[in-house]
Amino acid sequence: MDQLIANLSKLKIVRGDFDYHLTRAAMVIVFLVFGCQKWFDYEAHALIPFISHGPLIFWLYPLFGIRGAAFFLGTTEFLFGTLLFLGFWNRKLAILGSLGSCATFVGTVTIIPFFPEPWAEPAGGFPAATLPFLFLMKDVVLLAASVYLLKHDILRASASQRVPLVGIAQREATQ
Query: What is the per-residue pLDDT for 168?
Result: 46
Q: How confident is the model at residue 169 (pLDDT cuts 50, 70, 90)?
A: very low
pLDDT tens sequence across 108-164: 999 998 888 777 766 666 777 777 888 899 999 999 999 999 999 999 999 877 655
Q: What is the pLDDT of residues 57-66, one digit of tens each?
A: 999 999 999 9
Distance CA 100, CA 87 (A): 12
Q: In 3-state terms, what secondary structure has residue 95?
A: helix
Q: Which long-range contacts (CB under 8 A, 24 or more apart) does 56-60 make?
A: 56/106, 56/107, 56/110, 57/107, 57/108, 57/111
Confidence of residue 9 (pLDDT cuts 50, 70, 90): confident
Say if CB 71 and CB 47 are below 8 A apart.
Answer: no
| Average pLDDT for 62-73 | 97
- The region of weakest confidence among 6-10, 41-45, 91-95, 171-175 is 171-175
Please state whether the peptide bond connecting residue 127 to the residue before it is cis, i.e. omega within 30 degrees of 0.
yes
Question: What residues does each domain of the chain span?
Answer: 17-174
Closest to 88 in 3D by CA, of 175, 161, 17: 17
3-state secondary structure of 54: coil
Model confidence at 167: pLDDT above 60: no
According to the model, what pLDDT value does residue 122 have?
64
Whole-number pLDDT of residue 30: 98
pLDDT at site 123: 60
DSSP 3-state assignment of 16? coil
User: What contacts 24+ positions apart, CB below 8 Å, involve 12-21?
Assistant: 20/148, 20/149, 20/152, 21/88
Lowest mean pLDDT among 12-21, 54-63, 74-83: 12-21
**Judging by beta carbons within 10 Å of its beta carbon (0-12, 13-18, 19+), is residue 158 exposed, middle or buried?**
exposed
Please provide the average confidence, as pLDDT, over all residues in the chain: 89
